[in-house]
Structure 1
């Protein structure tokens, strides 16, 4: 949103700027995912944007149910690896918020959580962070996978390959904790976003 030509009082364009509508929109709705159309041609930026949209939708469903802290704990648990792929630090801070704020009003707790959720997802999910997540998930199959299968998961390849393999092992070995992890399916598979990352 920063690459809009904005003109000063003398009619000279600044190198970058935010258009009036975009600025007001982002001020009014600071947590909504916003991205310039041209930047969405970059596969990683596009996947991150769509991932934020679908995560926000899931979050808003939880909020609309007016459910208690248990729903927040469940949401945080299901999004563990997705959050870790973006920010270990914010995942841990959010975990402390979820676990330790018994005195905080539920509305205040949800607002703070939503702010940190969207802040975490704005951060880039790097190959290093994704490898860390995949290694954590591999730990659930320590007994079942051979050395070659473990090696195969960590080879350099498009992210969709090891994620698909982990998903296969989750179903094959009926791993209940990983079945609920949003990281494996953060958005509809039909979008094929991870095929390009």
Structure 2
């Protein structure tokens, strides 16, 4: 993709190979720099360096003090919480153009989840916190897709995150063009089958939400809508849900296809359900069938091409 077409995504600087960690090292993610960099324009950030700490430096951890989490050196001698909080609050407003963020796992600043929290005496309390930067990022931008680099090694989580980034980018582009009733309806129309795959219940609820766009201010309806959409898109799609969605799409094409074409599509949907073939096989057949059938509604569905084919994500789910 040309640079101007790439999607702006934030990333922990150490994942790009920058030597910013407490030990002077990095956590270079070759998937991020070798694959995703072809589609995303990365904006790197290291909250610890940004807050004024040097590298190398004393390792940090989170401790629970009263009802507050503090970020201190592992020897307990220095408390850097206020420095971090100041950096985060100054930086967050500058991240509003990002369409996603990839974080370094387990970091007291960047960990998305499962970050260790200790007592002041060093005893481990629990492992279910988020890093100080990651927590505020998700609070300030609840719609923004956020994921940890290590979790991108999971085929399903990787596909889910990238699908959400492309959908969120489409939403942001739509808003930048100016929110209108027709643009909101068009957005919903082209993402309908993605929503059906992720959650049938939400899919059924969103139609009525958009059925009367004069009932409330359009901004309020759109805000409720996209919050429901992005929450739904976080849900993993089961094999059965994909089969249901594929069958719905095939139904729109039934009248324009030969019996042989219909049988082949159904056979491969069944083969996908049995886990004999990946999702890309029946999906490719449906896309090929659209060349024979004039069905603009189905052709517009982003479910068929939610991201560039060259990412190869549906070869593995």
Q: Is the 8 A contact 1:4 1:16 kept in 2?
A: yes
Residue 33 (structure 1) aligned with residue 145 (structure 2): yes
- Tell me the alpha carbon deviations over residues 152-179 of structure 1, each in whole angstroms, 9 at most, x when there is no partner: 3332220011111100001222321111
What is the rounded CA distance, in whole Å, between the counterparts of 1:9 and 1:111 in structure 2?
42
What is the rounded CA distance, in whole Å, between the counterparts of 1:110 and 1:16 in structure 2?
32
Q: TM-score, normalised by structure 2?
A: 0.60
CA-atom RMSD, angstroms?
Answer: 1.4
User: Is the deviation greater in 1-10 or in 126-135?
Assistant: 1-10
What is the rounded CA distance, in whole Å, between the counterparts of 2:258 and 2:123 in structure 1?
63
Quick check: which has more Rg, 1 or 2? 2
* Runs of 4+ with deviation above 3 angstroms: none
What is the rounded CA distance, in whole Å, between the counterparts of 1:88 and 1:50 in structure 2?
21
Look up the SS of the partner of 1:187 in the other structure: coil
Residue 3 of structure 2: aligned partner? none
User: Number of residue pairs matched?
Assistant: 197
Higher relative contact order (CA 8 A, sep 6+): 1
* Displacement of 1:109: 1.2
- Tell me the alpha carbon deviations over residues 55-109 of structure 1, each in whole angstroms, 9 at most, x when there is no partner: 0000111111113111111111111111101011111211111112422111111
Which of 20, 41, 46 pairs up with 2:132? 20
Whose strand fraction is larger, Structure 1's or Structure 2's?
Answer: 2
* Displacement of 1:51: 0.4
**Map 1:147-186 → 2, pairs under 5 A:** 148-149=263-264, 150-156=266-272, 157-186=277-306
- Tell me the alpha carbon deviations over residues 127-174 of structure 1, each in whole angstroms, 9 at most, x when there is no partner: 111000000011122231425323233322200111111000012223
Which of 160, 163, 167 pairs up with 1:55? 167
Residue 86 of structure 1: aligned partner? 198
User: Is the deviation greater in 163-172 or in 41-50?
Assistant: 163-172
Residue 191 of structure 1: aligned partner? 311
Residue 16 of structure 2: aligned partner? none
Q: TM-score, normalised by structure 1?
A: 0.94
Gaps of 5+ in 2: 1-111
Q: Is the 8 A contact 1:4 1:19 kept in 2?
A: yes
Residue 44 (structure 1) aligned with residue 164 (structure 2): no
Whose helix fraction is larger, Structure 1's or Structure 2's?
Answer: 1
Gaps of 5+ in 1: none
